[in-house]
Amino acid sequence: MCKSSNLHGGAGIVGRALNTRQMTGCHECCSTHECNGRLCAHEKPTACIDSVTVDCALLNSLLNLCSDVDHAKTICSKYCGLCNLVDGGWADWSSWTQCDVTCEHGRQLRTRTCTNPEPRDGGADCVGSAHETKVCVRELCPVHGGWSIWNSWGSCSVSCDAGLATRRRTCNNPKPARFGDHCYGNPSESRICMQRPCADGGWSQWSSWGVCEGKQLARNRSCNNPVPSMFGKQCAGTDIQTKPCSDGKVFFNVHGHIVYQAHYLAYPSVVDNVGNGYHSNNGSFVAPVHGQYFFSAQICSTDGQSLDVQLRHVPLSGSEIAIAGNRAHGSGDYDCAPASAPVLLRTGDQVRVFTSAETTAAIIDNSTSFWTSFSGVLIVHIYN
């Protein structure tokens, strides 16, 4: 109910009858629809005319009316000094903003300001919201692809030695749609799987005994029956046998080059091999008799390559020993470096040529002008 209605008519009112009130504009003294608009009809405050139905001085002294601006501006605006009071009014709404998303559902916003007019000198602020939103609907968003979890690893690609096992995944979690990106990365991956060895090495038959040279006969065999597979075992034992004979001459001269396992050189071109001490299958010289020997080795490197060459004594028992060495620097078209030394060998001891080269690409050999070579001779036969 409107609290100020008792100021207008009835036994306790000071002023004129209802039919004499001015009705040029209604400014309700309350905000509910239950109020009787006719009881709250007054001039606009901008007219700055006090209501003729009330005694403003009496109401202010009795009820402190001027402190109640909402009521005073419609009854005693002039008496209470409210002639310059302006209540706020809403300006027009702004245009709707752009939708805040590029796809699916979003929001648009518009605003208004309390500037039509702007509240002044104690005037009331605008009632209501300065913001308003509405839903905007755009096209459906793209769906970017996502990988599924990996499948289980497949079976190994081989039944023995090393192979590959593969697993896969699918771009369906989710599946790309509406021009979405496809999954990045590989749909499959592989790893090495290791099975049992395919074959362990086995010895071939012994070769025939050679000619009696240097009071020793020799024969050999190869680990190729079968050749060991990648994870198979090498043959156990030695690939050469010797036995004494009556002749004491031993010398050999070989050239060419093949890098045998672990940087050792083998020489396929055999010029001399009296006593059968040199073995072209692995590049080693095996002493057929006990004695003092002299060995020489030479390596030739290509331009810009630096290669080491060493003579190494490999006794039947004990550690390998380097007995001579040199380096070819490969300046110009090529460079050759020799290494030579005497050494005391017991029957069965070996001498081999070691190089820093891992492949034959850096080594050169020309059978007409320079050789990558290996040679040796028995100087003194020691009988024991």
pLDDT tens by residue, the chain, 384 residues:
333 333 333 333 344 333 443 333 344 444 444 455 444 444 455 568 877 778 888 888 888 888 888 778 888 888 888 888 888 899 999 999 999 998 888 999 999 999 999 888 878 889 999 999 999 998 889 999 999 999 999 999 888 888 999 999 999 999 999 888 999 999 999 999 987 888 889 999 988 776 666 567 788 999 999 998 888 889 999 999 887 664 568 899 998 877 666 788 888 889 899 888 999 888 899 998 888 999 999 988 877 778 888 999 999 887 889 999 988 886 667 788 899 999 999 989 999 999 887 766 778 877 677 788 999 999 887 765
CA distance 327 to 356: 10
The domain boundary, picked from 42, 57, 75, lies at 75
The answer to whether residues 71 and 220 belong to one domain is no
Q: What HEC string does 212-240 produce?
A: CECCEEEEECCCCCCCCCCCCCCCCCCCE
Q: Does residue 108 lie in a domain region?
A: no
Q: How many residues does the chain have?
A: 384
Could you write out the DSSP letters of every residue in 162-223?
EEEEEEE--S-TT--BTTPPPPPS-SEEEEEEE-S-S------PPPPP---BTTEEEEE--S
Residue 206 lies in a domain: no
Residues 167-198: pLDDT tens digits? 999 999 999 998 889 999 999 999 999 878 88
Q: How far is CA 194 from the centre of its chain?
A: 27
CATH classification at residue 328:
2.60.120.40
Asked, for residue 341, whether it belongs to a domain, the answer is yes
Does 150 map to a domain? no
C-beta of residue 43 within 8 angstroms of C-beta of residue 54: no
pLDDT given at position 2 = 38
> Is residue 137 a part of any domain in this protein?
no
Task: Give the 3-state secondary structure of residue 301.
Answer: strand
Indicate if 226 and 375 belong to the same structural domain.
yes
Does the reported pTM lie above 0.85? no
- Distance in angstroms (rounded) separating the CA atoms of residues 304 and 371: 18
In a domain, 295, yes or no: yes
How does 84-100 read in b/e, with b if 16+ C-beta sit within 10 Å?
Answer: ebbbbeebeeeeeeebe
CB 137 within 8 A of CB 102: no
Strands (E) across 228-371 are located at 240-244, 251-255, 258-260, 264-266, 269-274, 278-279, 284-286, 291-302, 307-314, 321-328, 334-345, 350-355
Structural domain count, the chain: 2
The answer to whether 120 touches 131, Cβ cutoff 8 Å, is: no
Nearest to 299, CA basis, from 365, 376, 377? 365
Range of the domain at 256: 216-381
Q: Which among 75, 110, 125 is the end of a domain?
A: 75
Among 75, 98, 125, where does a domain finish?
A: 75
Rounded CA gap, 193 and 252, in Å?
A: 47
Residue 345 lies in a domain: yes
Looking at residue 134, what is its pLDDT? 93
- pLDDT at residue number 313: 95
Q: Please report whether residue 123 resides in a domain.
A: no
**Cβ partners under 8 Å of residue 314, min gap 6:** 284, 320, 321, 349, 350, 351, 352
